[in-house]
Amino acid sequence: MEHGWGHGGSSASTAIELICTLLYASVLIGYTLMARLSSQHYKSWPLYRYICWYAGCTCSVVVIIGPFAAAAHSDFRIHMIGHLLLGMLGPLLIVLSAPATLLLRSLPISQARRLSHVLRSRYAALICHPVVAAILNTGGLWLLYTTPLYTWMHQYTAVNLLVHLHIALAGYVFTISMLYVDPVAHRYSHVYRAIVAVIAAALHGMLAKYLYVHPPAGVSTGQAEAGAQWMYYGGDLVQLIIIGLFCYEWYRVTRPRQINVKTALDA
Amino acid sequence: MTPRTGYMHIQDDPAQPRYIYSKRNLWSGVLFGVGLAAFIDETIFHQLLHWHHFYDLSTTAVGLVSDGFFHAFSWFATIASLFLFADLRRRKGLWLTRWWGGVLLGAGIFQLYDGLVQHKLMGIHQIRYDVELAPYDWTWNIIAVVMIIVGSILLWRTRRRT
């Protein structure tokens, strides 16, 4: 049974590999071009954002094509690391590289206005809502690992592609629902986002421990235990970074503008 | 020069920032205490000593929920509390005695909850395996109670006197 495009020379798998490689190259080049060109008119685009974009796209693409992707089919631990890269670390890096901000300042005005309109649309508002994004993310994971979806993913290329796409997109909307780097039309309070984040993180951790003893079909005990711990602690790490950035944003926003300390010695 | 407010010492003046932010000091301390206790639990007992196990097969479903929630909450609590601490410092409102009181109270409550509810009632994991548990459990819980008592005393002594 064809296990995806890592091995086996079917034309479909090579076509997918080719498309992904081209896509990867073009988004890298495209981002660089837009950043360099727009930096001539506007403030110079910071170096760290280039790096975040390159790193984030690389994290995502290695999970879909190449030797890593091939290994993920048979090794649950590699699969789990792949999930962390595609669904958590990749989106985080991409969010930090502010792609929407870059697009808005690089596109001609009329197209930028159209993009802005799309970003403010009700559909965008819906999927970027913290609760909806959390459900898409965490719910999707629970679905993937506790239903036959996991097996289908390794049997059918189309399912495999869809699952990967969902993991990447769900990770992305969840991250932007927490970290307001790009312009956000529908904002939620810090407390609201924090509560959702903690509950989502809790569900993620619960799933990891659950998988420790109830792995998906066909996964050996050793791999299940290692994979589950990767999910638990790797997830912790990325969540920690997100929490840190989130709290730092709060700290900057609540900066006291003027310290008015009245003491007994004042008039 | 008699002070106009009628207080003997400047630190008794309720307009002092530390009094204005007394609740923030408390919460920063408590959150940090919870996070610290959870962190020590995770690093020392799970990772270094390997006393705790990742998943004890006697864990119930409700135990899994409790563990997941506290694990997630404690990470957030640690980081949020540190930023609260930094915020207090820049507002000149930090009250270390009160803050430490909060830390001890938070850590003690977490440890007691862990020792009684999570270890015993929910059976998520034990303190250590293949040993006589009683001395460990007693030590764990007594330390927790002591922290709660000391923390409460500190908080009582730094309470608002209006």
* Confidence at residue A9, expressed as pLDDT on a 0 to 100 scale: 47
Q: Is the CB of A240 less than 8 angstroms away from the CB of B68?
A: no
Q: Is the CB of A265 less than 8 angstroms away from the CB of B76?
A: no
Q: Per the domain annotation, does B58 fall within a domain?
A: yes
Q: Per the domain annotation, does B97 fall within a domain?
A: yes
Domain count, chain B: 1
From CA A244, how far away is CA A249, in angstroms rounded? Answer: 9
Q: Per the domain annotation, does B103 fall within a domain?
A: yes
Question: Is B61 at the interface with chain A, CB within 8 A?
Answer: no
From CA A97, how far away is CA A76, in angstroms rounded? Answer: 30
| Summary mean pLDDT of chain B | 81
Query: With 70 as the cut, is the pLDDT of residue B100 above it?
Result: yes
Q: Per the domain annotation, does B21 fall within a domain?
A: no
- Let me know how long chain B is: 162
Task: Concatenate the DSSP letters of all residues of A159-173 into one string.
Answer: HHHHHHHHHHHHHHH
- Pick from A19, A56, A60, A51: which is nearest to A32 by CA? A51
Q: Per the domain annotation, does B8 fall within a domain?
A: no
Size of interface A-B (CB pairs under 8 A): 87
Q: Is the CB of B80 less than 8 angstroms away from the CB of A194?
A: yes
- Pick from A35, A60, A33: which is nearest to A49 by CA? A35
Q: Per the domain annotation, does B4 fall within a domain?
A: no
List chain B residues with CB under 8 Å of A199. Answer: 69, 72
Report pLDDT digits (tens) over A73-103: 888 999 999 999 999 999 999 999 999 999 9
Q: Looking at the complex, report in whole angstroms how far the Cα of residue B12 sits from the nearest Cα belonging to chain A.
A: 9
Q: Looking at the complex, report in whole angstroms how far the Cα of residue A227 sits from the nearest Cα belonging to chain B.
A: 12
Binned at pLDDT 50, 70 and 90, residue A5 comes out as very low
From CA A49, how far away is CA A35, in angstroms rounded? Answer: 9
* Confidence at residue B128, expressed as pLDDT on a 0 to 100 scale: 62
Residue of A nearest to B1 (CA): A265
Q: Per the domain annotation, does B65 fall within a domain?
A: yes
Residue B147 belongs to domain spanning = 26-157
From CA A236, how far away is CA B78, in angstroms rounded? Answer: 13
Do the beta carbons of residue A264 and residue B13 sit within 8 Å? yes
Q: Per the domain annotation, does B11 fall within a domain?
A: no
Report pLDDT digits (tens) over A15-29: 888 999 999 999 999
Binned at pLDDT 50, 70 and 90, residue A213 comes out as confident
The SS3 assignment for A48 reads helix
Q: Is the CB of B73 less than 8 angstroms away from the CB of A202?
A: yes
